[in-house]
Amino acid sequence: MKAAVCLIAALAIAAVAAGAADKPNFSGEWKMNAAKSTFGPVPPPTSFTRKMEHSDPSLTIADDQKGGTGDQSNARTYTTDGKEISYQANGANVKGAASWEGDTLVIRSNADAGGTTISIVEKMTLSGGNKTLADGVHIVTPVGEIDVTYIFEKQ
């Protein structure tokens, strides 16, 4: 009986470890490819770089954008288990959480921009031998919804 319990526990641990090992690793320095990205009604940035440090469940994202809607830099650190974090971005208080949906990293955030709530859902995937990062962003504002897709190439 004791051996059976140990075997079941070992199998459960192995299954969790195998599941974690299957997740993509987003670590690296990324540069936006504007020609492959789509911006909808949003003015495109003239440059956008992203540095990611990812050792699941820890994920740090540092963005640096120039042009478009203005120069912006911010960094945030998540855990991919859905725990909420708070940070400042361009004068707004933001609360967000990251979690996995299969191989897609999903970050759900709400920004308080001067009393107006803006909801943001980012869905990040890797392709091309982990050399291409797609970040599909859905933004909901009181005046409408916007979809933007940033395509980054690993540097």
Give the total number of structural domains in the chain.
1
Write out pLDDT tens, residues 78-99. 999 999 999 998 889 999 999 9
Contact 67, 53 (CB under 8 A): no
- Domain that residue 30 falls in: 26-154
pLDDT of residue 21: 56
Inside any domain, residue 49: yes
Inside any domain, residue 47: yes
Query: Which residue did the predictor score with more confidence, 9 or 32?
Result: 32
Inside any domain, residue 14: no
CB-CB neighbours of 103 under 10 Å: 11
In sequence order, what are the residues at sequence separation of 6 or more whose Cβ sits closer than 8 angstroms to the Cβ of residue 100?
Answer: 23, 80, 106
pTM for this model (two decimals)? 0.84
pLDDT of residue 89: 87
The string of DSSP letters for 70-109 reads --EEEEEEEETB---EEEEETTEEEEEEEEEETTEEEEEE
Please, what is the average pLDDT of the chain? Answer: 88
Write out pLDDT tens, residues 90-143. 889 999 999 999 999 999 999 998 899 999 999 999 999 999 999 999 999 999
